[in-house]
Structure formats: structure tokens, C-alpha cells
Amino acid sequence: MVKVDLSGAASFMDLNALDYAAAAAAHRSLLDGTGEGHEFTGWLELPRRMQEGELKQIINAAQRIRSRSRALVVVGIGGSYLGARGAIELLRPIPSENDPKIFFVGNGLSPDALSDVLLQLGDMDFDVNVISKSGTTLEPAVSFRIFRKLLKEKYGNAAKKHIFATTDSSRGVLKALADAEGWECFVVPDDVGGRYSVLSAVGLLPMAVAGIDVKAVINAAIKEFEALSLQSPDNPAWQYAAARQQLYRSGKTIEILGCYEPSFRFMAEWWKQLYGESEGKNGIGIYPASVEFTADLHSMGQYIQDGPRTLMETIVSFERPNVSCAVPFEMADADGLNYLAGRDLFDICATAREAVRAAHISGGVPNLGISVPARDEAGFAALVCFFELACAISGYMSGVNPFDQPGVEAYKKNMFKMLGKPGI
Ligand code: PA5
């Protein structure tokens, strides 16, 4: 199970006075299905449902793609994209020779970005996984039309075998298109919102194509959700939710999520959407930001140490490294680094982390620690389950519905009107 360390926040609040009663009530209403937005809590059961349902089909499709294609183009945005990218960059930051390259498109409207992908794709054999629950989101819909045309030109009538659609089980434009064209389909469940969907086919198909062991992910997620059902202040999700709500009430309105593994960058993007879209409503909500350490200590370190004292910091760490790498000894010691010779980079990094933590705490930034044993399938699954559950609990504790996103419609209305979409 994920471990939470609140000791770095002890000088900012009374850890014995955290509102665990509110966390317990929030957790209970989530499990009982009595909270607002309860029709979107299917993610709690998702790992088990996947194990009994689509997982085999996902693995089969991934094997087919891996055996015939050198690339998978994943078309999607927001919750239909960030989880898969977070997982793949975390667990397979550099694809091995046998792994297809995964390209992410449809997450913006930049012609330059699209043309960069087309250039890299060149004449590679490729498949497309289009992911959209609604089927009407502009960015992926436009990109998908372009890649559909490309597939048709490349493979003719066989193009349909190269398209995999992850969408609603029965409704929407994409589902209708898929049925008419005969594309293989995967389901975004009705009771799971985009930002909670990474453990469905939305995340699992691209992950499996990238060579991630999705069976191991699902098995670990089942265990993690079981462990997180604990009804006690020992539950790490309660601890994290209660601590951040308490800090928010004391004026810490911005939470920076940091990690010392650069491969965590897109997991932080996934986390930002999960927390930002779930909590930022009705004029309240912690603003989720992210940093990559140690790199950002040389850019954002000044602000964190010395800027407005509205920050809290949450640091994700992995307890053991995947490789070892010792600093070499040099007789001349011209760079003066022999005091580190023989020490592993992982230990040096751990010391840096402790030093930064102490400096930021003394500068007025409370520090919450989150750790998992390793940067592997189980660690990824544990982080996903933990962050999802803590987010829902934290949202309920703050009095919002953590499962809707009414605010994202405003820009869409304007944009479609200005683009001249019929009927708007
Ligand atoms: O979390 C969400 O609901 C959003 O981020 C959606 O996932 C995103 O807007 C994409 O929507 P769709 O999957 O319908 O294309």
C-alpha cells in the first residue's frame, strides 16, 4: 500500500486534530453511493471488472498491434489521454527495440505538432487507437479524421483492421462510426468519468502496446483498492485528504506535486487533471501544480523557498531504484567530487531530497510525502488507486461534487460558435 508521511507538515498544523471524522463520512458516502455524482463511481470496481471482462481482449489486440506495427497513434485528450501517457512515460520512458513507438495526437490543435508526428511516423506500419467517451471532442475528432485518411491511403480496405475505438458502449458519433466501419471497440464505462478511466481500456490498451504488463497492473490495483477500503485514520487516502484540506483552510491554496524521477512528469499532468477538475469549482479548490526535481530547484526553487507562503508540497518517491549507478573515483580529483566516489546516485538523490525538504519546511512550505516501493507496474497501480480515492474523499470533504466538470463547457460553447458549428 502507498505510504503517506505527514511529519513534514507537523509544524504547520496539529496532526492529532485532522478531521478524520469528515474523511470517514466522505469515504462512507462514496462506498454507499449516497454522495453527489455517485453515478460516476464505477472506477472503484474497475480493476475487478477489467479482470473479469475486457482485459483479455485488450491483451490480444495489443499483441496483434505489436506483432505487425512499429507505431501506435493514440488519439485522445484530457482523461482520454493523460493516464496512458503518464503510465508509459513512467514505466517505459525509452521504448525497447521491440516495442512500438507510441505517438499521442489529438491533445491540441497545433498543425506543427501534428506534422512533427507525421514526419516521425514516415512510412512505418502503424495502428490507431482513438479514445473519446463522447466522440464529439473537437481536438481528437479532427486528428482522427486526418489519421483515418492516412490509414486508408496506406492500407486501402484493410485500414479498418488498424483502427481500435475506445468509446461509449452504445451511444455517440464514434460508436456509430465504429459499428458502421467494423472497427474493433473497447468501452469507456458509463459510470467512469474521463479522469478516473486510466484503469479501463482507455489507459490499458496503449499501455499494453507499449509493453507494460497490464495484468500485473490490474492485479496490483485490485489489492490496492482492497487495502484502501480500511476504515481508519491509518488509511493513507484519509491522511492525505485530511491533511491537504486542513492546509487549504490555513491558507495553503496551491499544492505542488514533485518527484525526483523525470519519468514521473506526465503522471503529474494526470494528477493535475484529476485534482483540478475534481476540486476546482464553486469558487474553491486547491490549485494543483507540479515540479520536476532536482531540475526545477534551479528554476522554481527560489519561488518555493521565498515567494508567497501559499504553497504546500507533496513529494512522490520510490523506495528503491531500478538500477544502480555509482560515482566513479578519479585519482586527480580535479572536479573535487571524490568525496562522493563510490556512492550511488540514488543515495545522493535521497540526501538531496531530505535537504530540500528541510529547507522548504523551514521556508514555510509544509511537506507531504507519498511513497511506493518501486517504479514498476505495482507502484503505478498503487499510486493511481490512492490518488483517485483520496481525490474523491478530499472533494467530498470540501463540499463539492468531485465527478462533474461543468466549467469546461464554457470555452467549448464560445469556440464552436466562433468556428461556425451548425446548430450552436
Ligand atoms: O475528464 C474528463 O471528463 C475530460 O478530460 C475528458 O476526458 C476529455 O474532455 C475528453 O473527452 P472525451 O473522452 O469525451 O473525448
Chunked mean pLDDT (size 10), the chain, 424 residues: 97 98 98 97 98 97 98 98 98 94 98 98 98 94 98 97 97 95 97 98 98 98 98 98 98 98 98 98 97 97 98 98 97 98 98 98 98 98 98 98 93 92 89
pLDDT number for residue 140: 98
- List the catalytic residue out of 52, 153, 298, 409: 298
Residues 6+ apart with CB under 8 A from 169: 175, 187, 189, 190
412 has catalytic annotation: yes
pLDDT of residue 314: 98
Determine the distance separating the centroid of ligand 1 and the alpha carbon of 23, expressed in angstroms. 28
Q: Name the catalytic one among 152, 161, 223, 412.
A: 412
* Site residues for ligand 1, CB cut-off 6 Å: 77-80, 132-134, 137, 140, 193-195, 277, 405
Report the amino acid identity of residue 292: E
φ/ψ of residue 186, rounded to 5: -130, 160
What local confidence, expressed as pLDDT, does residue 423 receive? 87
The model's pTM: 0.97
Ligand 1 midpoint to CA 365 (Å): 33
Rounded CA-CA distance 123/69 in Å is: 11
Residue appearing with cell numbers 518501486: 374
Q: Which of 277, 279, 313, 377 is catalytic?
A: 277
Atom of ligand 1 nearest to the CA of 79: 7
Residue 80 Cα to ligand 1 middle (Å): 6
> How far, in Å, are 206, 340, 344, 384 from residue 216 at the CA level?
15, 37, 29, 14
**pLDDT, position 379:** 98
Write the residue with the smallest CA distance to atom 8 of ligand 1. Answer: 78
Q: What is the residue with the minimal CA distance to atom 15 of ligand 1? A: 132
Q: Ligand 1: distance of its center to the CA of 78 in Å?
A: 5
Cis link prior to 294 (omega < 30° from 0)?
yes
Given ligand 1 and candidates 134, 401, 416, which is best to mutate, with the most ligand atoms within 8 Å of its CB?
A: 134
pLDDT of residue 1: 87
CA of residue 199 to ligand 1 center, whole Å: 15
Q: Which three cell numbers stand for residue 27?
A: 469515504
Over the Cα atoms of the chain, what is R_g? 22
Q: What is the pLDDT of residue 424?
A: 82
Neighbours of 123 (CB within 10 A): 7
Q: Of all protein residues, whose CA lies closest to atom 12 belonging to ligand 1?
A: 132
The span from the CA of 297 to the CA of 228, in Å, is 33
Determine contact, residues 135/75, Cβ cutoff 8 Å. no
Q: Strand 3-5 relative to strand 367-374: parallel, antiparallel, unpaired?
A: antiparallel
Residue 331's contacts (CB-CB under 8 Å, 6 or more residues apart) are none
CB burial class (10 A; 0-12, 13-18, 19+) of residue 309? exposed
User: How remote is the CA of residue 351 from the centroid of ligand 1, in Å?
Assistant: 40
The residue to mutate among 40, 43, 74, 80, having the most atoms of ligand 1 within 8 angstroms of its beta carbon, is 80
Handedness of CA 333, 336, 340, 346 (dihedral sign): negative
- Sign of the torsion formed by the C-alpha atoms of 183, 54, 200 and 176: positive
The pick from 137, 272, 391 for probing ligand 1's pocket by mutation, whose C-beta has the most ligand atoms within 8 angstroms, reads 137
CA dist 161 and 174 (Å) reads: 16
For the sheet with 71-75, list strands across it: 101-105, 71-75, 126-131, 163-167, 184-187
pLDDT of amino acid 210: 98
Contacts 24+ apart (CB under 8 A), 169-174: 172/132, 172/133, 172/134, 172/135, 172/136, 173/135, 173/136, 173/141, 174/130, 174/132, 174/135
Is 175 considered catalytic here?
A: no
Segment holding 207, helix H or strand E: helix 201-209
